[in-house]
Amino acid sequence: MKKTLSILLALMLALGLLAPAMAESERSGGTLIAWLGGDPTSFNPDGAMDDFSLMTMENVFNKLIKFDYAGNLIPDLAASWEVSEDGLTYTFHLVTTKWHDGEEFTADDVLWTLDTIKVYGITGYAFADVTAEKTDDHTVVLTLTQPDASLLYNLSYYGAAILPKHLYDGQDFYACDAAIAHPVGTGPYKFVEHQQGVSVTLAANLDYFGEIAQTDNLIFSIIPDANTAVQAFYNGELDYLGAAAPPTEYDNLRAQGNLVYEQPFASRYYIAFNLREGAPATDLALRQAIAYGADRQAILDKALMGSGAIAEGFAPAAIAWAYNGEDILPERDVEKAVAILEEAGYTKDADGYYATLSAPTMTEFTDITSVLKDSLKDIGVNVVISSMEPAAWQEQVFAGEYDLTVLSGYHGPDASAMAMRVGTGGAVNIMAYSSAEVDAYFAAGAATTDQEERAAAYKAAQKVLSQDLPIVPLCEAVITETAAANLSDTPLSAPEVTSIGDLSHIRIN
């Protein structure tokens, strides 16, 4: 692996494809090699929702605003902004910068992006009632039909990167050259190349409007198997391991002088049920039985090695102001689960199961799903696991070709992000769950800036979710990262200055 990357580096430097090392004392320079668990499905950050696209493109593109690992909103392409007293008008003052291909970035790019993602983007629903206009080339005004406290967070999250109008306008949003082969952003790194199954290579943008990237080059080395990635890190083939290392490795990693950080995060693991017509899990009794039968403690202990906590409620406990700690999951009760199934008319088949459910599973969740499978055997439910790469998993579950699956992901920084996962039409609502009551509570929570009123609305939504069970929470997650001893200013070592996925601050010492 290391030899292959060294050859690639030498060739790219000879061809002038990578940024030359800089002499400025304030930058560390060099090449940072970071782990990536799979190939990005797209280089259009507003058209793909997989983490591998996010991890790479967060370093290439910018949003109007962004948020750091501590959940604070910070400027990005908008150097500053104001909100009117009635909460209906947001005015953004844009930075002066250029796209990586040399074209000027202007307000027209922002207007085109927001108008386009309403139709094609993965988070278009979040901007459906927003009208975007410009007063000049560097001032954008967003007008709402009613107050929406979630707007700033939506602008800082998945699917809100500003795209280059001059490369996308009139082209296929998902399949144009900029989306699949040659992304052009305004970010701290420029795209160089993607070698399928091998790497994604970026080079420092020396004309960046913000702090210039610390390293001259950033290479994401694609290693789907986490154990292989950990070994590659021990071998010196990776500098930044990110979240690949299991908790069982932390002591050994620290003993060798490496950096290991861990902190609570608004993310959790949960079972998602296919609720499309004809799917077995449309039966509430089956979902209730699984809620009683799932052994969350075993998942925490065996699959997550004790890293995190048992999930009880229907929103992340880390967003404490909006968390409903009363309407929660019951304790595990195998006898109760079996009684629910039998009362609903389920009978055992020749193999002794009341139901057999398909569970396509991303490779990173195989251990969790395996422990879940073992626990559900106790209630007579058979789970058939199909482990697959993220792109294949995404295609299958969004097509509704599954019974249940395990998912996680960031649920913040604001409670309004719940709508993305369980709101009607939400970008990550793989269940196809739809509740007018839940949607109304989400709308109420977004329509005011009064935090007590917002909290009441989101807690009411969680009560309905605890009854409908479109998902079954399993474990609260923590975010971790592992970095080589010679690195500093990694994201979790400076959580209040680094936006999610941005590796441009990392120094090689």
pLDDT tens readout for residues 170-221: 999 999 999 999 999 999 999 999 999 999 999 999 999 999 999 999 999 9
User: 3-state SS of 457-490?
Assistant: HHHHHHHHHHHHCCEEEEEEEEEEEEECCCEECC
Cβ within 8 Å of residue 174, ≥6 positions away = 42, 44, 47, 120, 180
Q: Which helix (H) or strand (E) holds 269?
A: strand 259-273
3-class DSSP assignment, residue 37 = coil
CA atoms within 13 A on the CB side of 29: 8
CA distance 336 to 290: 10
Q: For residue 147, what pLDDT is reported?
A: 86
Average per-residue pLDDT for the chain: 91
377 dihedral zone (left: phi>0; alpha: psi -120 to 50; beta) = alpha
CA distance 340 to 286: 8
Number of H helices, E strands in the chain: 16, 19
Domain residue spans in the chain?
1-52+187-258+484-509, 61-180, 264-479
* Residue 158, CA distances (Å) to 44, 397, 417 in order: 11, 19, 10
pLDDT tens readout for residues 158-180: 789 999 999 999 999 999 999 99
What count of other Cβ atoms lies within 10 Å of the Cβ of residue 86? 9
What count of other Cβ atoms lies within 10 Å of the Cβ of residue 175? 12
Can you read off the two tokens belonging to residue 267? 């993310």
pLDDT tens readout for residues 467-489: 999 999 999 988 889 999 999 99
Q: For residue 5, what pLDDT is reported?
A: 43
* Residue 181, CA distances (Å) to 55, 177, 327 in order: 16, 5, 47
At 20, the pLDDT band (50, 70, 90 cuts) reads very low
- The DSSP result for 321-370, as a single string, is GG--SSS-PPPP-HHHHHHHHHHTT----TTS-SEEEEEEEEGGGHHHHH
Contacts 24+ apart (CB under 8 A), 419-425: 419/126, 419/150, 419/446, 420/123, 420/126, 420/158, 421/471, 422/465, 422/470, 422/471, 423/125, 425/125
Q: Using an 8 Å Cβ cutoff, are 302 and 347 in contact? A: no
Note if the pTM is more than 0.85: no
Q: Evaluate whether 61-180 and 264-479 have a shared fold.
A: no
Task: Residue 424: name the closest of 441, 409, 405 by CA.
Answer: 441
CA distance 54 to 456: 32
Q: What are phi and psi of 48, to 5 degrees?
A: -135, 150
496 dihedral zone (left: phi>0; alpha: psi -120 to 50; beta) = alpha
Q: Using an 8 Å Cβ cutoff, are 134 and 111 in contact? A: yes
* Torsion angle, alpha carbons of 406, 407, 408, 411, to 10: -130
Q: Is the pLDDT of residue 10 over 50?
A: no
Give me the CATH code for the 1-52+187-258+484-509 domain, please: 3.40.190.10
pLDDT tens readout for residues 133-145: 999 999 999 999 9
CA distance 226 to 366: 12
Q: For residue 71, what pLDDT is reported?
A: 74
Cβ within 8 Å of residue 100, ≥6 positions away = 60, 184, 185, 186, 190, 191, 205
pLDDT tens readout for residues 258-302: 999 988 788 899 999 999 999 999 999 999 999 999 999 999 999
Q: Using an 8 Å Cβ cutoff, are 411 and 157 in contact? A: no
Can you read off the two tokens belonging to residue 87? 């909460």
Q: Is the pLDDT of residue 2 over 70?
A: no
Domain 264-479 has CATH 3.10.105.10: yes
At 498, the pLDDT band (50, 70, 90 cuts) reads confident
Q: What fold does the segment set 61-180 form as a domain?
A: Dipeptide-binding Protein; domain 1 (3.90.76)
Task: Residue 308: name the closest of 263, 250, 370 by CA.
Answer: 263
133 dihedral zone (left: phi>0; alpha: psi -120 to 50; beta) = beta
CA distance 294 to 376: 6
CA distance 206 to 26: 13
Task: Residue 45: name the closest of 207, 166, 164 by CA.
Answer: 164
Task: Residue 191: name the closest of 486, 180, 79, 426 by CA.
Answer: 180
Can you read off the two tokens belonging to residue 500? 């999610």
Of residues 410 and 370, which shows the higher confidence score?
A: 370
Can you read off the two tokens belonging to residue 509? 């010492």
